[in-house]
Amino acid sequence: MTIEDLWTNLLSRNEADILSAFKMLNKEDKTTVINHLNKMVTEDGWHPEQVHSAEYALDLIKRNNE
């Protein structure tokens, strides 16, 4: 999977694609992805649809990794 495919899946708003992409990452990469998604949600300059997708992914990841 390319980095583009990874982010396409993570921002897809498709539960299965998001979880599948996230689960294939190692611990360090998971931390990097979560940090980047948090930046997308909190920093200016992102398209509203990107923010919504990042929020969805973060919520789903959190609910499935508790």
| Whole-angstrom distance, CA of residue 47 vs CA of residue 66 | 29
Residue pair 61/22 in contact (Cβ under 8 Å)? The answer is yes
What pTM did the predictor assign? 0.92
Quote the number of domains for the chain. 1
Residue with tokens 């897809």: 12
Calculate what percentage of the chain has a pLDDT beyond 70: 98
Question: Model confidence over 10-38: pLDDT tens digits?
Answer: 999 999 999 999 999 999 999 999 999 99
| Whole-angstrom distance, CA of residue 44 vs CA of residue 64 | 27
Query: What distances in angstroms separate CA 17 from CA 22, 34, 43, 44, one per listed residue?
Result: 8, 16, 25, 26
DSSP annotation of 12 reads: S
Residue 27 lies in domain: 3-64
